[in-house]
A and B are shown apart, each in its own frame.
Chain A
């Protein structure tokens, strides 16, 4: 069965530190998508990135970068020079085929990141 594991429940860093959030997934599908979402204290989930299983190229967006490695079934997320505004819960998710042609999202339990001034 598909599964997403975020082993780090909480991470606490001081501003300007780099931090990596780990995500390990399990799937038998050859085609799938991986996602990262940010949930700030307000509660809304903010979409950060989607990755196709056939594209292992790492991606960088400003201070955010993602490392996708199929060999280890990992999709890790790094924040460089963290800021207080990065404090949030971060969710990794995996899509799996569901009924009726719909792709269901399987979420990890989330990692709570606290960035202190």
Chain B
């Protein structure tokens, strides 16, 4: 099946822990993105990557880290430095100025 997969669907974290959200795609798109969505709000860009081994900070990168070791994968780590990590996280891929989104991961800090 083609598309974007994100795992897990739901994630619970204790304060002070780092967690990693997975994003995998088999669309052969070069660009990948991570967004954060808070209740009743639009999406905000965390990080993006246009090619393997390269990534750039978005508008709200503090407390997050990423890697892009292969084209298909763009994992996001939410570190303990992120002060308010409870949110819905969406991964996207990009082709010709259009972005396509995965199903999302809902992170809750306990």
Contacts and interface: CB of A to CB of B under 8 A. Distances in A.
A81 B44 CA distance: 32
Interface residues of B, number: 23
B48 interface: yes
Residue of B40, B42, B92 with most chain A CB atoms under a 10 A cut-off: B42
A99 B98 contact: no
Interface in A99-117: 99-105, 107-110
Interface of B: 31, 40-45, 48, 50, 56, 58, 88, 90, 92, 97-104, 106
Given A44-B103, A100-B56, 12 more contacts: A9-B40, A33-B97, A42-B103, A43-B103, A47-B99, A91-B43, A95-B97, A100-B50, A102-B48, A103-B97, A104-B45, A109-B40
Contact of B56 (A33, A93, A99, A103): A99
A14 interface: no
B32 to A, nearest CB: 11
Which of A46, A100, A107: most chain B CB closer than 10 A?
A107
The interface size bin for chain A is 20 to 34
A44 B102 contact: yes
A105 B42 CA distance: 11
A32 to B, nearest CB: 10
Given A102-B50, A109-B40, A47 B100 contact: yes
Contacts of B106: 43
